[in-house]
Structure 1
Amino acid sequence: MRVASSPSATVLSGSVGALLDVVDAAAPAAGGPRTLVLLGMPGIGKSTTLDALVKAVGERGVGVHRIAADEISRRQPFGLVSGLLGLEPVYPPRSDTADRVLDAVESLCVEGPLTLCADDVHHADADSLALLGRIASATRVLPLTLLIACRPLPVRDALTALLARPDVRVVEVVGLDEAGLAELVRARFAAPPGDELRSFLDSTHGNPFHADVLLDDLERRGRLAVVDGVVTVSGTTEDAPASVQAGARAHLALLDLAARDLLQVLAVWGRPATVEQLAAVTGANPVSLLGPVQAVVSSRVARWTDDEMLTFRHDVYRDVVYADLAPPLRRILHAACATQLHASGGMSTQILGHAGGAADRTEPRSALKVAATELAYAPAQAADLLADAAELAGNGPDADAIAVARAGALAAAGEIGAAESVARERLLLTRDAATRDELTRLRLHAIVSAADTADAIATIDERLAGVHDRAQREALIHLRRWVVVLGGREAIGISPVTGHGNGRRGASGAAALVPSVMDLFLTARCEEALALATEAVDAREAAGSSPWADGATAPIWPPWIALFARGPEAARVLSVAARREAQERGRGWLLPYHLFVAATIDHLSGRWDDAVAELDAGLEAATATGTGWLARPTGALLQIRTCRNELDVAERDLSRWKLRGLPEQFGLPQVGLAEILLGEAHGRASEAAEQARRSWSTTLDGGRLLWALLAGPDVARVALGAGDDELLNRVAADTARVPVGQVTALAPAADLVKAMARRDPDRAMAAATAFRNRGNFVGELAGWEEAAVAAAARGDQDVARTCAVRCRELASVLGAVGVERRIIARLRAHSVRLGVSGARRRPATGWQSLTPTELQVADLVGQGMTSRQIATRLFISPRTVQTHISHSLRKLDLTSRVELATTVARRQA
C-alpha cells in the first residue's frame, strides 16, 4: 500500500511494506522525519505491525532496542527510556538522569545505525515522554530512527506535543481490509473463509484482535468447519460479539472461577508477574495456582514472557478484566498489591499507585512527601502522582496542599500552561488564604511566563480587591509593578501603583527589588542595576524559594545586565555559572532564557554563528516550556539574518512573529528595530525612517534611555539614508543625554551617533576603537562603517578606504554580507569605489565553511565525547552542541554525528 507523503498517513494493520517505505523516507540520506508513530485503537494491530517492522529493520543489519510500556510503567520515573536503552533504573531519580539517557543514545549510535522502538507509549511515565521528544530531536544528528506505537486515548499532553512536531511522522493503523481478513483465516485454518464467515468477520470492522477472538469463540463452540476447501460457519451473526471488548468478555466467560480470579489479580498488579508474586498478593501457595495458570495460558488469554513472567496476551483482556471487577474487590486487590510491593521493597510511586486504587486516605499525604523528596528530580512524574492524589483527595483537607504541590511540579517541569490550569481550578474552590496566595503566585508565574501581561494585571487587580493583609498586598503590588515593567506597559519613572521608580526601593525582599532593577537598567544605570539584581538573587536564595518561583528574581538577570555594564567576558562567566546552577537545581523552565542570554553575549562579542546556534536551541526549548518572552531572541536572530543578507528568511520569520502577537519585552522594540533594518536592506529608505521615527519617539519618551545606546547608531544610519535630518538630530540629542558612566559596553555609541550627526570621521574612528576595546564587535563594525562614510563625505578617500577595509574585514569574519554590500553602496554615492575585498570569505560548504566553534565541536565528536561532555568543555548547553553538529552535517553533506566522527578521525590520521 502506498503511504502518503504528508506528515500523517494511514496504513492497514500489518502493512509492513508500506511502513518500510516510511522508514526508508526517514533514512538520513532521504532527509525525511526520522520519528515514526503508529497510532491506533485497541486491538487494531499496532503491536503486531510494529513487531513485523522491527524484524524487517533488524534483517537489514540495523541495531534494534524494543520495549513495551504497561499499566504500572507510568509509576516508574524514566522507566521506559531506561529500559529501552538497557540502563539500570535508578530510584529515586538523579538530577542528571535525562543527560545520562541522552549520553546512552549517543554511545549506542557509535556502534552503528540504531532503531529505538517503544510500544504502548500511552502507558509511559511522564518524564520518559518528555525525553522521547529530546530523543526525537537527536535523530537529526544521529544514525537513529525512533518508532513508537500508542493509542489516541488516554490523552497525554507530552505525547500530544510529540505527535504535533513537524519532524515526527504519524501513521494511523486501521483495520484489515477484506483480503487481510481472508488471509488471517487462511493462516489459521489453511483455507479461505466462505461467504457466511466473511459476513461474521464484517462485524469486526477489520480489527485483527477482534477477528481472532471471534474465530476463537466460533471454534470453541464447534461452529467452524472446512468444507470443500473453504471455512464455513453455522448459525447466524446475531450472537457474534459486537465489539473487541464483547469478544474478550465472551472468551473470558468460558474460563473457570479460579482462572478468572487469577486474571483479576494480574490485571490489578498491572504488569507481568511471576507466579510467586501473584500468590503473595493473595496469600496463596504458589503451587495452588498451577492449574489456573495453565488454564489462562492454554486458553490464549495470557502468555509467558521471555523472562518467564505471566502477562496478558493482549491488553484488551486486561482492560476488560479490570473494568468488570467490582469496585470493592478492586480496592481490596490494590491494597494487597501495595502491601506486597512495600514488603518486597517496591518503588514508592508504584506503592502509592496501588494505595490510591485502594482508596487509602493516607495516600495523598504520602504522595505529597514522595513528590517533594524522592521525585525532586522527576517533576513530571511528581505532577502525575499528585494528579492521582488530587482525584482521591477530592475537596478534602489535603486538596489545597496537593494543588499547590502539583502546580509547582508542573511549573518546574516546564509545563507552564498545565500549571496555570491546576492553579486556576483550585482557586475556584479553596477558601484558605495561604493557599489562595500561593496558587495565585503560581498562576501568575504561568501567565507571566506566557507573556500574557493583560491577564496577569487583571488577575492581580482582582486579587488586590479582596486582600487586606499588608504583606500580601505589598507582594502583589510589587509583582504588578514587575509585570508592568516586563511588558513595557508604562513609562519608566514614578509608578502610579507603588509610588516608586527610577531605582528607588519600595520594600525589602527579592520581588520588591527587581522592578527597581529594571528601572535602573532601562535608564542606563547598569552598574547600580547589576548590584541590585545580585542582591535580589541572593534574597531569593535566602528565602528558599521554590524552583518555579524565580520569576522576577531569576538568576538570568545579573549576566544579562553585566553584558552592558561590564562587557561580554564578565557576562559570560556569570552566564555559565547561572546555567549550571539551573540544571543542578531542576529549574528546567529557565533553560530558554539562559540560552537567550548566552546568545546575546555571543552576538555582541562577534560570535554570530554561536549566537545563532544558541538562539535556535533556545527557541526550540521555549516551544516546549510555553515561554512567551521571545522578542529579544527573535529580534537578535532577525538582525543577524539581515546583516548576513538572508532577507527572504528574515521576512518569513518576521511574518510568523507578527502572527503570534507577543509583546516586546521591557518596551524595547527589538523586533521593531529588526523590521526597520530589514526595510532599509530592501531599499525602502523613507518607509524605514518613518517607522524608526515612531518607534524611537515611543521608546525614548517612555524613559527607556538605554535604547538610545542600543539602537542609536542603527536609527541614525537609517535617518542618514533617508535624508531625514530631523530624525537624525533627535537621535543625536537623545543619545547625548544618556548617562554613559555605568554602561561600559555601550558607552561609545553616544560618540558614534554624535560623529554621524556631524559627519566626523575622527570621532567615529575613536568610537570604533573604543567599542573594540570593550569587546563590542557589533559597535566596532558600525563605527568603521560610519567613519568610512563620513570621511568619504568630506572628500578624504584614503581615510574612507582605510576605514572601509577594516569594516569589511570584520564583516567578513561575522559573515555580514549585507553590511559589506551596504558600505560599498554608501561609499559609491560619494564617488569612492572599493576594490575586491582582501578578506577571504568563508565558503558555504566543506571544512572551510565550519565556524571555529563548529570545528571545536567536530574535533570533540571525533574524540568520542558525548554532547553533554562537549557542552561542559565549551561552556555551552547540550542542545546548542546538537545545533552546531546539525549545522556541520549540512555543510559537510554528512548524515550523522557518527559519520562526522569518522570523517574527523580520517582527516587527523
Structure 2
Amino acid sequence: MDLVGRRDALNAVAEVLAAGSGALVAEGPAGIGKSRLLEEAAGLARARGMTVAYGRATELDRVAPLSTLLRALARLDAGGRDDGPVSVRGGGGADGFAAVERAGAVIGRAALTRPVAVVLDDAQWADELTCLALRHLVPELAGSPVVWLLGQRPFPARAAMDALVSGGARRVTLPPLDPGEAAQFCALLLGAEPGPSVLELARAGGGNPFLLEEVLNGLRAQGRISVTGGVAEAEGSELPAGFGAAVERRLRDLPAEARRLLEAGAVLRRPFTVHEAAGLLGAPPGALLGHVEAAVRAGALAGTGDRLTFRHDLIREAVYDGLPAAVRAALHREASAVLRREGRPAAEQAEHLRHGARAGDVAAIRELRAAAEDMTDVAPSAAADLMLRALELAAPAAPGTPAAHERQGLAARVVRLLASAGRLAEAREVADARDVSLGPAEAAGVALGLAEALKHTGDDRGVIRRTARALALPGVPARERARLLAVRAHALMMAGEIDAADQAAAAAVASGEAFAQVVALEARSAVALFRGGAEDALRHAERAVALADAAGGEAAHRHPRLWLGAALTALDRFEEAEETYAVVERESGRLGTAWSSPLLHRFRAGLLLAAGRVDEAAAEAETGLRVVHRLSASALTPVLLGVLGQVALLRGDLEAARAHVDRARDLCGDTPGLVAAELHWRRLLLAAAPPDRTLPPADPFSQGGRPARHERAGALAYLVVQEPWEAARLRALPGVREFVRDLARRNPGVRSLTAAAAHVEGRLEEAIELYRDAPRPLGLAAALDAAGRHAEAREVYRRCGIFRSPSGDQPEGAGDDRRGGGGTGPASTAAGAHTCTPRDCGWAALTPAELRVVRLVAQGMTNREVATALFLSRHTVDSHLRHAFAKLDVHSRVELTRHVLTHDHPD
C-alpha cells in the first residue's frame, strides 16, 4: 500500500540518498509508520544502485553486543577479505572497540565498490555496542559514500541518536495522519470511499496508521465492513481503547492453544523457532504446527526463514502485557532453561532470569553474575542491570545462607559497572545505601569501585573524600587498603597535593599487592615528573611495567607503559616512547580496555608536539576529544584542549588558541589542581605572545593572594619537560629563570632542558647548538628566531608544519600561505570538526601530513591501510582526512581523487 501522509519524510530520505553521504533518524511512536518508511527508503537506495544493509533491533539485543549492526552487515559481502567477518569475542577480554572498527572497515571496503545504505529499524532497542558504533562510525565515514537511515521510537530514548542529530544527522518526526490523510488511508485499505462510520473510527484512532489498520482489518474479517455504492461503512463505530484492546479484539477468536503459542513467542522477545516455543509450552513441536498456521492467518505471526516473528512488535507487546505477572515470571524461568538446552548465549538466558528468578535463588544469582562478567567490557550498562538483579535476589538472604555467600562482592561490582556505564547517580545511590550494611572488606570494595569511576570523570575531590571514609573503617583488609591508597594517590596528585600523593603511593607500593603496586607506581612516576625528576619518573614506570607484565590480569589492564612513554618523552628518548605507545595500542585492543584510549591520545599528542610533528599532534588531540566524548570520560578534555591551544599558538592563530584554553578553563571551573595550574601557564604563554606581551608583574606561582606555588610549580615543571622551548616566553616572570635553571641542573642528561636553561638566560648561540643535538626542532626554531636568524627559523618551522612564526616575525608571503589551518582555527570544535575560512581553503591549504594521507586515499587505500603505510594511528589518519575534506569542500573519496589528479604535484 502507498505511503500516505509521508511526502515530507520521503523527500528528506531522497535528499540524503541524493547527497550520497549522511544520516537520517526517523522518529515517532509505535505504529506511526517508521518501518514502512525505512522499507521504502531501502527500495529507493537499491534503485540508485546502492548496496543496502538492513537490520532491525529486538528487545533482547540489549544483551547481545553489536548484534543489531551485525545483522545488517551480514548483508554486505566481505568477499573473503581480512576485513570480515566481524565478531565480538566473549569473555572478560571482549574487544568491543576493535569490533566496532572492524565493522567500519567492512562498510568502508564495501563503499569502495558501490555506495552503501545502512538501514537500522527499531534502534531504541539497539545494544550498547551498536549505539557506540553509530556514534563512532557515522561521523568517521562522513566522507565516504555511506548513508545511514535509522528508525526509533521516542522512548526509551537513546543518547546515541541524540548525539547523531547534534552532530548533523537529519531528524524526521512522523506526525499522526491528519483527517484528510486518514480518509485517504482508509480508502486505500478498504478499496472504497470511507463513509461516516469509518471516518469516525479514523478520527478516534488519533491518526495512527497501524491501530487504524488493525481495527479495520479486524472488522472486515468479522464481516462488519459493508460497501454500498462505492462507500464503506463499519458496523459499530467504537474504537477499542489502545493497542492492547485492538490486538485483543483481533485475536480473540484464535484457539486457546494458538494464544498460548503467541504468549510463548512474546516472552522469548525475538524471532523464535517452533522447537523453542514447544519447549517453553512443554508440547511436542509437531503439535504446534496447526496453531502456527492459525496465528499466521490471523495476521499475528509471519515466517522468516526457519523462524517465526510477530508481524508487528506492537502485537508482541500487547500479548506480553496481557499476561498476568505470575505467568510472565514462570514463563521467563522456563525460557531460561529451554534456551540453555538450545545452547543460546548465556546473556540471553540471564535476561530471562532477570525477569523470572525468585529471591534467594542461588543458581539464578550465579548465572546472572557470570553473564554480567562475560559482557562487562562491551555492554557495561546491560551487565549492570543483570548484576543489580543478582544483588536484589541475594539481598534478603539471612547471614550464613548460600545466597548470602553469593552476595559477597556484588555491591562493589554493581557500583563499578554502573560507574563504567556512566550511570554515576545510580552508582552513588547503591554505594551510599550499602555503606552501613556491609562488612569492612565489601564496604571498601564499594568505595574503591566508585572512587575509580569518579577519578575517570575528573572528580578528584570526590575520590579523596570516598577513599578517606573507607580507609577510616575498622578492619579493612590489607588488599583493599592498598588499592584504596593507590587510587587515592592519583586523586591527590591531580588535586595538586603532591607530597600527600607520593606518601599514599609509597604506602601502596609497600603493601606488595600487585595491582596496588602498579597503580601506585604510575602515580609516583607522574609525581616525579611534576617534581621535575625525569629519571625518577622512568625508574618508577619501568618497575610498574615489570610488575604488570609478571602479574598479568587486572594489573596488566592498567597499562603502565602509558607512564613509561611519558617519562621517555621527558628524557628526549622519542623513538622508544613511540614504540612503547604502539605496544599500549596493541595491548588495549587485545584486552578491550577502552578507558586507556583517551590517555593514550593525550600522551601521544604530547610526544608528537615535542618532536615537532605539529599536524599529527593536533590530529591526535582532536581524536582524543572525540573518544572522550564517546566514553563520557571528561577528565582529560581540558588537557587535550590545552594541547590544541598550544598548537594554535605555534601557528600564530591566537584567536583559536584563546578559544581552546578558555573553554578548557571553563570546564575546570574554580577547582584547584594540576590541570587548572597547567591552564594558568597556558594562559600566560598566550599573554606573552605578540602583539600583547602583557605578562603580569606579580608572582606567577601564587593565585589571588592564596599560595599555590606547589601545584603551579608542578604544572610548570611538567610543561617544561614536555615543551622546554616555551620557558623562554616566560623568562620575564619572577622566579621562572631560576626554576628552569634548577630543572636543567637536576636532569643533566636531558639535552633539551640544558638548551632551555641557556635559552631563558639569553645565551642564544649556546642554546641553538644544544638544540641542534636534541630531538626538539621547535626549540631550535624558537632560539633561531630569538637570535634574529629568521630565515633559518622559518625553514625549521616549515619542516614542523608551521607557516606562521609564533614570534610575530611573519615569514615572507605568510599572509598568502594557506597551510596554517590544520584543524585548530576558530571554527574547530571539541570533537575536531573543521570549517575553514576562504583563505585557508583549497588544495594549497593542505598540510604536508594531510597531503601524504590524501595521496594514498586517492590510490584506493582504506584509512587502516593508510595508517599502516605511514606508521600512524588510524585515528590520526581519520582526522587528517576529515580536515582535507573540509578544506577541499568535498564529500566523497571520488571527489577527493579528482582533486589529487588535478592538483597533485608530488615533491
What's the CA shift string for 1:848-887, capped at 9, x where partnerless? 5444433443344345444334444544433222112212
Q: CA 1:740–1:277 in structure 2 vs 1: closer, same or farther (change >3 Å)?
A: closer
What is residue 590 of structure 1 aligned with on the other side? Answer: 596
What is the identity, as a one-letter code, of the residue corresponding to 1:434? A
Q: Secondary structure at 1:775's aligned position in 2?
A: coil
Q: Which range is displaced more, 656-665 or 35-44?
A: 656-665
Q: CA 1:693–1:194 in structure 2 vs 1: closer, same or farther (change >3 Å)?
A: same
Matched, 1:650 2:657: yes
2:455 to 433, 448, 451: 448
Q: CA 1:177–1:600 in structure 2 vs 1: closer, same or farther (change >3 Å)?
A: same
What is residue 717 of structure 2 aligned with on the other side? Answer: 706
1:575 to 581, 602, 610: 581
Q: CA 1:423–1:881 in structure 2 vs 1: closer, same or farther (change >3 Å)?
A: farther
What's the CA shift string for 1:113-156, capped at 9, x where partnerless? 21101111222222222222222122323211111112232345
Q: CA deviation at 1:219?
A: 3.0
The answer as to whether partners of 1:525 and 1:742 remain within 8 angstroms in 2 is: no
What's the CA shift string for 1:401-455, capped at 9, x where partnerless? 444444445666x747478457636644751332222221111111111111222
The answer as to whether partners of 1:46 and 1:173 remain within 8 angstroms in 2 is: yes
What's the CA shift string for 1:323-372, capped at 9, x where partnerless? 22233433443344333333332222222323444427313312323444
What's the CA shift string for 1:535-591, capped at 9, x where partnerless? 1243345455537973xx743211112111233223212121122212211110110
What is residue 812 of structure 1 aligned with on the other side? Answer: 798
Between the aligned partners of 1:580 and 1:742, the Cα distance in structure 2 is 31
Q: CA deviation at 1:623?
A: 1.1
Matched, 1:614 2:626: no
Identity across aligned pairs (percent)? Answer: 26
Between the aligned partners of 2:794 and 2:342, the Cα distance in structure 1 is 72
TM-score (norm 1): 0.84
Structure 1 unaligned residues grouped into runs of 5+: 1-11, 720-726, 756-762, 789-802, 825-833
Q: How does 1:784-863 map to 2 (within 5 A)?
A: 784-788=784-788, 803-819=789-805, 822-823=808-809, 842=819, 844-845=840-841, 849-862=845-858
Q: CA 1:732–1:647 in structure 2 vs 1: closer, same or farther (change >3 Å)?
A: closer
Between the aligned partners of 2:426 and 2:576, the Cα distance in structure 1 is 35
Q: How does 1:870-909 map to 2 (within 5 A)?
A: 870-897=866-893, 899-900=895-896
Q: CA deviation at 1:97?
A: 2.6
Q: Secondary structure at 2:65's aligned position in 1?
A: coil
The answer as to whether partners of 1:28 and 1:143 remain within 8 angstroms in 2 is: no
Matched, 1:556 2:588: no
Q: How does 1:370-769 map to 2 (within 5 A)?
A: 370-373=371-374, 382-383=383-384, 385-390=386-391, 392-393=393-394, 396=397, 397=404, 398-409=406-417, 415=422, 417=424, 420-421=427-428, 424=431, 427-428=434-435, 430-469=437-476, 471=478, 472-473=480-481, 475-488=483-496, 490=497, 492=498, 494-495=499-500, 498=503, 509-544=517-552, 546=554, 550=558, 554-627=560-633, 628-661=635-668, 666=674, 669-681=677-689, 683-686=691-694, 698-699=708-709, 703-704=713-714, 706=717, 709=720, 714=726, 716-717=728-729, 727-728=732-733, 730-738=735-743, 739-741=746-748, 743-755=750-762, 763-769=763-769
What's the CA shift string for 1:264-292, capped at 9, x where partnerless? 11112222233344334434344432332
Q: How does 1:52-131 map to 2 (within 5 A)?
A: 52-86=40-74, 90=87, 92-93=89-90, 95=95, 96-131=98-133
What is the identity, as a one-letter code, of the residue corresponding to 2:729? R
Q: CA deviation at 1:234?
A: 4.1
The answer as to whether partners of 2:118 and 2:146 remain within 8 angstroms in 1 is: yes
Q: CA deviation at 1:57?
A: 2.9
Q: CA 1:556–1:27 in structure 2 vs 1: closer, same or farther (change >3 Å)?
A: farther
What is residue 292 of structure 1 aligned with on the other side? Answer: 291
Between the aligned partners of 1:214 and 1:14, the Cα distance in structure 2 is 18
Matched, 1:188 2:185: no
What's the CA shift string for 1:510-534, capped at 9, x where partnerless? 3443443333212221011111122
What is the identity, as a one-letter code, of the residue corresponding to 1:347? P
What is residue 831 of structure 2 aligned with on the other side? Answer: none
Q: Which range is displaced more, 693-702 or 270-279?
A: 693-702
Q: CA 1:510–1:707 in structure 2 vs 1: closer, same or farther (change >3 Å)?
A: closer
Aligned-residue CA RMSD in angstroms?
Answer: 3.7
Between the aligned partners of 2:791 and 2:816, the Cα distance in structure 1 is 9
Structure 2 unaligned residues grouped into runs of 5+: 75-83, 398-403, 821-839
The answer as to whether partners of 1:204 and 1:244 remain within 8 angstroms in 2 is: no
Matched, 1:867 2:860: no
Q: CA 1:415–1:879 in structure 2 vs 1: closer, same or farther (change >3 Å)?
A: farther
What is the identity, as a one-letter code, of the residue corresponding to 1:603? L
Between the aligned partners of 2:154 and 2:742, the Cα distance in structure 1 is 61
Q: Secondary structure at 1:310's aligned position in 2?
A: strand
Q: CA 1:681–1:13 in structure 2 vs 1: closer, same or farther (change >3 Å)?
A: farther
The answer as to whether partners of 2:613 and 2:800 remain within 8 angstroms in 1 is: yes
Q: How does 1:144-159 map to 2 (within 5 A)?
A: 144-156=146-158, 159=160
The answer as to whether partners of 1:13 and 1:44 remain within 8 angstroms in 2 is: no
Q: CA 1:514–1:693 in structure 2 vs 1: closer, same or farther (change >3 Å)?
A: closer
Q: How does 1:279-318 map to 2 (within 5 A)?
A: 279-305=278-304, 307=305, 309-318=307-316
Q: CA 1:805–1:564 in structure 2 vs 1: closer, same or farther (change >3 Å)?
A: same
Between the aligned partners of 1:380 and 1:613, the Cα distance in structure 2 is 30
What's the CA shift string for 1:57-104, capped at 9, x where partnerless? 332332211111123333332211111111767574463433321211
Between the aligned partners of 2:815 and 2:37, the Cα distance in structure 1 is 61
The answer as to whether partners of 2:678 and 2:712 remain within 8 angstroms in 1 is: no
What is residue 365 of structure 2 aligned with on the other side? Answer: 364
Between the aligned partners of 2:754 and 2:616, the Cα distance in structure 1 is 25
Q: CA 1:685–1:513 in structure 2 vs 1: closer, same or farther (change >3 Å)?
A: same
Equivalent residues, number = 848
Between the aligned partners of 1:15 and 1:752, the Cα distance in structure 2 is 72
What is residue 246 of structure 1 aligned with on the other side? Answer: 245
The answer as to whether partners of 1:846 and 1:891 remain within 8 angstroms in 2 is: yes
Q: CA 1:77–1:729 in structure 2 vs 1: closer, same or farther (change >3 Å)?
A: closer
Between the aligned partners of 1:500 and 1:298, the Cα distance in structure 2 is 70
Q: Which range is displaced more, 470-479 or 76-85?
A: 470-479
The answer as to whether partners of 1:117 and 1:148 remain within 8 angstroms in 2 is: yes
What's the CA shift string for 1:658-685, capped at 9, x where partnerless? 3323567635733333333434446333
Between the aligned partners of 1:384 and 1:142, the Cα distance in structure 2 is 37
Q: Which range is displaced more, 222-231 or 402-411?
A: 402-411
The answer as to whether partners of 2:565 and 2:603 remain within 8 angstroms in 1 is: yes
